[in-house]
Amino acid sequence: MDARLNLFGNPLLGTFLKHLNSAGKVIGDSALPAATQELVKLRASQINGCGFCTDMHTKDAAKAGETSTRLNLVAVWREATVFTAAERAALELAEQGTRIADASGGVTDEAWANAAKYYDEEQLAALVSIIAIINTYNRLNVIVQQPAGDYQPGQFG
């Protein structure tokens, strides 16, 4: 399977992705726990049906020490006992932030208040930003039908 557009060879997309990656680095360097970042990116990617990002973030999280049990249960986090209350709040915010079109009003006040119990303002800003960025990456990959399965951990830097 070949992608419809070469995300890595197209000059315009290359410039766009360079800036998007720079924004992602700001979040990566934030106080939001790295494990939470990967869980959020993985969950949004699952919801959006982005095989490339699901592959990437599963492998990156595993390389960083995330357990296969937790990775396998991200899609059903509500029924799983392996996530902290803070991670559950982040996953709920990620789901609601990803499914904005599915709910009138977008993210509920309850989901926001629950996340605010566990994350300070900087971490909330990072959480909102990472949800927005991963949704952008997901949409790029889904639109161009970027193939999944060949990603190697750390491949992009």
**Mean pLDDT per 10-residue section of the chain, whose length is 157 residues:** 89 94 93 96 98 96 95 98 98 96 86 98 98 97 95 84
State the pLDDT at residue 36: 96
Report how far residue 144's alpha carbon sits from residue 157's, in angstroms, rounded to the nearest whole number.
22
In a domain, 1, yes or no: no
In a domain, 107, yes or no: yes
Using CA atoms of 25, 58, 31, 20 in order, give the dihedral in degrees to the nearest 10. 20
In a domain, 2, yes or no: no
State the pLDDT at residue 157: 66
Look up the domain containing 82 and give its range. Answer: 11-144
State the pLDDT at residue 156: 79
The number of distinct structural domains making up the chain is: 1
User: Where residue 79 sits, what CATH number does that domain have?
Assistant: 1.20.1290.10
Report how far residue 112's alpha carbon sits from residue 20's, in angstroms, rounded to the nearest whole number.
25
